[in-house]
Amino acid sequence: MKNPMLEVVSLLLEKLFLISNFTLFSSGATGEDKGRNSFYETSSFHRGDVLEVPRTHLTHYGIYLGDNRVAHMMPDILLALTDDMGRTQKVVSNKRLILGVIVRVASIRVDTVEDFAYGANILVNHLDESLQKKALLNEEVARRAEKLLGFTPYSLLWNNCEHFVTYCRYGTPISPQSDKFCETVKIIIRDQRSVLASAVLGLASIVCTGLVSYTTLPAIFIPFFLWMAG
């Protein structure tokens, strides 16, 4: 049986992760046009390579399948609204992506290198060096990616594009980006100044709005939980 408290904490962490990296999604309006007008030399890519596209705060990952095709995980709100393949197979806009993250629906889809990269520079197999893990054979990597094509639940912390490519490439789904974010949150929680700040904000909200349940309870319990977790 799932722990409700853990589910709430997980949900809050995911929303914080989304907010803290919002510039990743909001910077794509010009990126869409740039991506369509960019040319990538794909002759140096090999089937099964991990393609990495650095963004402002996050990095997007995909598996190269050959013939200018990249398999990658993309959140998309349309997947929850329609079964029309003609609509869902179009390049995912930023609005569709953001709403897909919020409602936690995605697909592992195939796009061209241009649509995958959105005009950004591409790193190839950079994860091999940063993670220092032994990669599977490239053909096995590509086959794993192809088997996973289709609808999938999405989670910024537990099932994102990095989990997808690390499973395909190394056999284990991991996400250093998510781990780094969680460590940062842990540091903030353990900092006793967070307890003081939350207590002050709680008292200020009580002074401004009065002793009502929706301000009093958070004002008491949030500093308490931070204190206990510290």
Q: Which residues are known to be catalytic? A: 161
In degrees, rounded to 5, the angle at the alpha carbon of residue 22 between the alpha carbons of residues 16 and 27 is 170
- Residue 175 · residue 126 · CB < 8 Å: no
The conformation of residue 135, written as its DSSP 8-state character, comes to P
Six-digit token string for 61: 């990952």
Say how far apart CA 18 and CA 24 lie, in whole Å: 9
From residue 113, how far is each of 63, 71, 142, 178 by CA, in Å?
10, 9, 15, 25
Task: Give CA–CA dist 6/48, Å, rounded.
Answer: 36
